[in-house]
């Protein structure tokens, strides 16, 4: 379509009823005011569909996601450690193995959830809905969410195990116990303390890594290889590694995997209306989740899944068929005209290969052969095979 037509369609995109928006706007300043009313219908529907069409594997992860936006409204956030610094913050629960976005919600700023136990606690408890998700899962989170109170409540109330890195400042972290690691301890050193169902592990790599887990043992004999410089040369050395660190590295990247799949072919672009930013991102979530479902179904059948680009192209054609009743495919180039076959045969310049020789047109070596159709000297030496190369270059 033309750019002008696309602009007309874009200016008329609304995710809610304008009359209901005016009613909600009149409630501004009261507890009944909904800051996300403009995206509420599609927001609720996409969340329900994400949960209805897929059941995550045992390993799941919770993390933040930033959706780039320049709209200056109150729910826009800043995160210095993310590739997208300014934008809308989403808290996402994703499958660790395939990156499927199973549930998410938009952070609306201070006062969004107020249980009194901290934002990180409330985020995980809201996303890990055991009546819908079920029990028996293993949750992986980073140090923003990890706390002993959260892990104990997840295990006691929802029958969900958890593992994650932890900060020393967290309430309940045993930082004053004797025998903790410091920067002078050798690489591969492990220290641990168990308190009921939780194990606190310290492991020395290039720096001290601190873990809290209700899943793992403190030590299981696993090892990892690291490049170490000794006597001016780099060598691979083997060091012990706690199972909590190993599983965390393998399963924490579920949300990042989903972000990467969305980022390859995102439809998001600049817009003046903040709710259109969410519209584009919801479409991205739906397409990527559908692509992940396609891969899972294809693998279960022993088939080779399509690439994401091919999947999106097929999706566009199917949507076009749903809208018009038939697929309007782009015009195909006319077939190349057929030409009568030309017989190319090598021949001697004389009666045999000993009477006459000429210089090969490619390698300049003397040869007794030439092409009877092209009438050029060409050699058939296996190391050069100029006869074949000549005809390939001429596209015969």
Evaluate whether 174 touches 191 at the Cβ level (below 8 Å).
no
| Cα dihedral 239/242/246/248 (nearest 10) | -140
For the residues of 334-386, what is the DSSP string, one character each? PPPPP-------EEESSSSTTT--EE-TTT--EESEEETTT--B----TTT-H
Q: How confident is the model at residue 108 (pLDDT cuts 50, 70, 90)?
A: confident
Higher pLDDT, 285 or 337: 285
Least confident of 152-161, 262-271, 279-288: 262-271
Those residues whose C-beta lies under 8 Å from the C-beta of residue 345, and which sit 6 or more positions away, are 371, 372, 373
**Longest Cα separation, the chain:** 106
Q: Measure CA 221 to chain center.
A: 31
Angle at 261 between CA 257 and CA 266, to 5 degrees: 140
pLDDT at position 332 is 65
Least confident of 79-88, 125-134, 228-237, 306-315: 79-88
pLDDT at position 141 is 92
Average pLDDT over residues 52-68: 88
Question: Quick check: helix, strand or coil at residue 214?
Answer: coil
pLDDT at position 312 is 92
pLDDT at position 35 is 85
For the residues of 11-62, what is the DSSP string, one character each? HT--SS-HHHHHHHHTTTTSTT--TTGGGHHHHHHHHHHHHHS----SEEEE
pLDDT at position 340 is 52
What percent of the chain is predicted at pLDDT more than 90?
13
Angle at 116 between CA 111 and CA 118, to 5 degrees: 80
- Token pair listed for 42: 């599609």
């Amino acid at each position: 379509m033309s750019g002008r037509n696309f602009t007309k369609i874009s200016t008329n995109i609304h995710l809610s009823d304008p009359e209901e928006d005016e009613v909600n706007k009149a409630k501004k300043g009261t507890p009944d005011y909904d800051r996300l009313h403009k995206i509420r219908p599609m927001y609720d529907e996409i969340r329900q569909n994400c949960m209805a069409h897929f059941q995550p594997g045992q390993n799941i992860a919770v993390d933040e996601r930033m959706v780039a936006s320049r709209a200056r409204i109150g729910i826009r956030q800043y995160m210095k450690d993310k590739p997208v610094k300014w934008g809308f913050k989403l808290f996402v629960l994703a499958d660790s193995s395939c990156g499927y976005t199973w549930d998410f919600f938009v952070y609306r700023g201070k006062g969004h959830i107020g249980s009194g136990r901290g934002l990180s606690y409330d985020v995980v408890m809201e996303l890990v809905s055991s009546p819908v998700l079920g029990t028996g899962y293993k949750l992986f989170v980073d140090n923003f969410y990890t706390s002993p109170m959260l892990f104990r409540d997840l295990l006691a109330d929802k029958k969900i195990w958890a593992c994650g890195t932890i900060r020393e400042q967290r309430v309940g972290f045993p930082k004053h116990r004797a025998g903790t690691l410091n920067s002078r301890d050798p690489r591969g050193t492990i220290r641990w303390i168990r308190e009921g169902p939780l194990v606190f592990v310290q492991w020395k790599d290039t720096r001290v890594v601190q873990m809290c887990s209700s899943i793992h043992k403190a030590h299981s004999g696993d090892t990892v290889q690291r490049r170490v410089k000794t006597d001016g040369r780099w060598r691979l050395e083997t060091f012990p590694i706690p199972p909590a660190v190993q599983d965390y590295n393998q399963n924490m990247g579920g949300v990042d995997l989903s972000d990467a799949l969305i980022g390859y072919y995102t439809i998001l672009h600049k817009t003046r209306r903040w709710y259109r930013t969410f519209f584009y991102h919801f479409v991205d979530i739906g397409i990527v989740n559908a692509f992940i479902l396609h891969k899972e179904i294809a693998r279960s059948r022993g088939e080779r899944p399509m690439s994401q680009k091919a999947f999106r192209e097929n999706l566009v054609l199917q949507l076009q068929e749903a809208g018009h009743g038939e697929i309007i495919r782009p015009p195909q180039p006319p077939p190349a005209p057929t030409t009568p076959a030309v017989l190319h045969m090598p021949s001697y310049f004389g009666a045999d290969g000993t009477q006459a020789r000429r210089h090969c047109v490619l390698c300049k070596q003397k040869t007794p052969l030439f092409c009877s159709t092209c009438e050029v000297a060409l050699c058939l030496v296996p190391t050069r095979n100029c006869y074949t190369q000549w005809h390939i270059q001429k596209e015969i």
